[in-house]
Amino acid sequence: MTTRITTLIHTSTTSVLRLALLSSLLTAAPFLNAQMGHDHGAPPAKLVQEVRDATRQFIDVNNAGPAGYGPAFGCVSGPDHGAMGIHYVNGTLVGSGEVDVYHPQALIYEPVGNKRRLVGVEYIVVDAAGWLASHDGVPPQLEGQAFQLVGAPNRYGIPGAFFELHVWAWRDNPNGAFVDWNNNVSCEGQ
């Protein structure tokens, strides 16, 4: 009789543990699935895809110049890690004060020897005070992504505060598609 009770307790305990394990896996499944959404196989954010569509022609850096873009600032590397790359800036677009997903103010290239690899873009509003005054104090946005405010003085020598938004459309950024510095970009290849 004692052996049957011990066997019953062991079987019941094993069943309860299996049920608890199954329950925890079912509870964790949505979380695990959400984490997998950041995988390379996940579709890009709408803004990232729009930037790719808008800048596909600039994969070849030779198309940047005729479109009004030219290199500025040299290769920009991060203060602690990562880099941005070489900004090819379109002065006409920077001066416009407009935000248009299909016309970024800067194309960003990573130097690879004598070549340039398109890695992303930057949208720039140089007159932050003017923008805020004419937009009820609301910073610029594209597809729900808010621009970052860069104060003055700044490392770029731009007088006054400005807004900027990086979009890493052509190079994955482990910290996110809209973060300034990209650990997957380097200035060492020039």
Residue-wise pLDDT tens digits, 86-99: 999 999 999 888 99
187, two tokens: 């200035």
Residue 144 located in a structural domain? yes
Flag whether pLDDT at 135 surpasses 50: yes
Residue 12 located in a structural domain? yes
Range of the domain at 101: 46-167
Question: Which is more confident, 85 or 4?
Answer: 85
Structure confidence at residue 136 (pLDDT): 95
> Are 86 and 140 in the same domain?
yes
> Are 59 and 30 in the same domain?
no
- Per-residue confidence band for 4, with pLDDT thresholds at 50, 70 and 90: low
> Are 25 and 103 in the same domain?
no
Residue 63 located in a structural domain? yes
Contacts with 165 (C-beta within 8 Å, 6 or more apart), sequence order: 122, 123, 140, 142, 145, 146, 147, 148, 178
Q: What is the mean pLDDT of residues 4-31?
A: 40
